[in-house]
C-alpha cells in the first residue's frame, strides 16, 4: 500500500468518489464541509474546492459533518450530485441535491441546494453517512439508529422511522407530497401500517459505509457494533438485520415477544479484541493488485487493520488479515478503473499495488 497522491493532503477525509463522467477527476469529502476535486495522477500537486458548505454543516461531534457524496449517473449532462450531511437547530441528517457550475467544471453552485429529505437525529452519533446510486439508478442512503448507546428508542426495529435503515429513493421523480419518488418495488411501498416506504432494509445500528459489487449486483455493508462485535452484512431488499435484538451473531437484549421476527444472518463478525469500529469497503476488481481480485476489502478505524474476505456463500468464507497499519481508516472509494483507495485521518489517500512491484 502506498500514498496514491503523495503531494496532496486532506483534513479528516471521509469519502472518496469519481464522477464517472469521462473526465477521470476524483473527489474527496472533508468532514467539516468541503469537497475537493483533482486529477487522477500520482504527480498531481493541486486540488480545488468543488463545494464548500461549512456554513450549514454541523461537525461539532466526532460522527457529525459532511459524510457522503454521490454523482448522478447522468452527471456529465445534468451536472447533478447529492450529499449527506448533519445540521443543527434542530439536529438532523440532510440529503440534498446540488448542481455543478455550468461555466466552471471544477466547481459547484453552492446556491443550487435542493433538500430532498431531512431525518431528525435524537443524538449526535450513529448518523450513517453513505449515499450511493445502485445499478437501478435509485439513490441508497444509510441512516444509523439515532445514537446514544444500545438504541434506547428501539429505532432499529421500528420501520415507522427512517433511523436504523438503508433507504432507497427515486431522485428523478416526485410525488404530490415529496420531491422524490418511492420505487414501486420497495418492500414497504403502499403499506397501510405506517411503515416508511423509503426503507430498503432495516435493523442496522450504524451502517457507516456500504458498497455495491456491480459484477453480481451484491450490496455489502459494514455495520458498526455496540461494545463487543463488529459485523459485515450482505443487504437484501426488505431484510431485518437484527439490531438491537442482536449484536453480530449474539443476543443483545431479551428477545421475548420477538420470536416471530425473521432476521437476516450477518456474513462475518469480529470482536473488540481485534478492532472496535468497522469501516466497510469494496470488492476489489482493479488491476494494480490482482492478488486481491474478488476479495471484499474492509478495515477497522480503531485498530488500523485491513482484511480481505472471500465469500462464496455462508458456508464458504475465508477472511485474511492483509495489513496491520497505524492508520485511522475512515472510508474506501474506487476510481473509473475500479482501483481501490483508502481515506485516512493522517490526511493521505492510499492505494494498493501488487506485491510484485
CATH number of the domain where residue 224 is located: 2.120.10.30
pLDDT at 65: 98
Average pLDDT over residues 320-325: 98
The cell for 300 is 477497522
Confidence of residue 353 (pLDDT cuts 50, 70, 90): confident
The DSSP bridge partners found for residue 140 are: 132, 168
Average pLDDT over residues 195-218: 97
Q: In this structure, are residues 204 and 165 in contact, taking their beta carbons and an 8 Å threshold?
A: yes
52 lies in some domain? yes
338 lies in some domain? no
pLDDT tens digits for 19-37? 999 899 999 999 999 999 9
Residue 154 has pLDDT above 70, yes or no: yes
Query: Could you give the number of structural domains in the chain?
Result: 1
317 lies in some domain? no
Across the chain, mean pLDDT equals 95
Nearest one of 126, 165, 169 to 149, comparing CA atoms: 126
**Structural domain span for residue 50:** 2-275
pLDDT tens digits for 47-102? 999 999 999 999 999 999 999 999 999 999 999 999 999 999 999 999 999 999 98
Integer Cα distance of 128 and 246 in angstroms: 18
pLDDT at 357: 53
44 lies in some domain? yes
Exposed / middle / buried, residue 296 (Cβ in 10 Å: 0-12, 13-18, 19+) = buried
Integer Cα distance of 68 and 97 in angstroms: 12
DSSP 8-state class, residue 291: G
Average pLDDT over residues 305-318: 92
pLDDT at 356: 59
337 lies in some domain? no
188 lies in some domain? yes
Q: Is 212 left (phi over 0), alpha (psi -120 to 50) or beta?
A: beta
Confidence of residue 105 (pLDDT cuts 50, 70, 90): confident
pLDDT at 260: 64
pLDDT tens digits for 243-276? 999 999 999 986 555 666 899 999 999 999 999 9
Is the full-model pTM beyond 0.95? yes
280 lies in some domain? no
pLDDT tens digits for 182-204? 999 999 999 999 999 999 999 99
219 lies in some domain? yes
Amino acid at each position: 500500500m502506498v500514498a496514491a497522491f503523495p503531494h496532496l493532503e486532506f483534513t479528516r477525509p471521509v469519502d472518496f468518489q469519481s464522477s464517472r463522467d469521462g473526465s477521470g477527476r476524483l473527489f474527496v469529502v472533508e468532514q467539516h464541509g468541503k469537497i475537493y476535486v483533482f486529477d487522477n495522477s500520482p504527480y498531481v500537486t493541486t486540488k480545488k474546492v468543488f463545494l464548500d458548505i461549512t456554513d450549514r454543516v454541523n461537525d461539532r461531534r466526532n460522527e457529525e459533518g459532511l459524510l457522503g457524496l454521490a454523482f448522478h449517473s447522468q452527471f456529465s449532462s445534468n451536472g447533478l450530485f447529492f450529499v449527506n450531511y448533519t445540521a443543527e437547530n434542530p439536529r438532523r441528517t440532510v440529503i440534498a441535491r446540488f448542481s455543478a457550475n455550468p461555466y466552471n467544471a471544477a466547481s459547484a453552485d453552492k446556491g443550487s441546494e435542493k433538500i430532498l429529505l431531512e431525518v431528525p437525529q435524537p443524538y449526535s452519533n450513529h448518523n450513517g453517512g453513505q449515499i450511493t446510486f445502485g445499478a437501478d439508478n435509485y439513490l441508497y442512503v444509510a441512516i444509523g439508529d439515532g445514537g446514544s448507546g444500545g438504541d434506547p428508542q428501539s429505532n432499529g426495529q421500528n420501520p415507522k422511522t427512517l433511523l436504523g435503515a438503508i433507504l432507497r429513493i427515486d431522485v428523478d421523480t416526485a410525488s404530490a407530497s415529496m420531491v422524490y419518488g418511492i420505487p414501486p418495488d420497495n418492500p414497504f411501498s403502499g403499506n397501510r401500517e405506517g411503515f416508511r416506504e423509503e426503507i430498503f432494509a432495516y435493523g442496522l445500528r450504524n451502517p457507516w459505509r456500504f458498497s455495491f459489487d456491480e459484477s453480481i449486483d451484491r450490496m455489502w455493508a459494514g455495520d458498526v457494533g455496540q461494545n463487543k462485535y463488529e459485523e459485515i452484512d450482505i443487504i437484501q431488499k426488505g431484510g431485518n438485520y437484527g439490531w438491537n435484538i442482536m449484536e453480530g451473531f449474539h443476543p443483545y437484549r431479551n428477545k421475548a415477544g420477538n420470536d416471530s421476527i425473521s432476521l437476516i444472518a450477518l456474513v462475518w463478525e469480529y470482536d473488540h479484541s481485534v478492532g472496535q469500529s468497522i469501516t466497510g469497503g469494496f470488492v476489489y476488481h482493479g488491476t494494480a493488485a490482482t492478488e486481491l481480485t474478488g476479495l471484499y476489502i474492509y478495515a477497522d478505524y480503531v485498530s488500523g487493520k485491513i482484511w480481505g474476505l472471500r465469500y462464496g456463500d455462508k458456508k464458504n468464507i475465508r477472511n485474511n488479515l492483509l495489513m496491520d497499519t497505524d492508520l485511522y481508516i475512515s472510508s474506501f472509494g474506487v476510481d473509473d478503473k475500479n482501483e481501490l483507495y483508502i481515506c485516512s485521518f493522517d490526511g493521505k489517500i492510499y492505494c494498493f499495488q501488487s506485491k510484485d512491484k
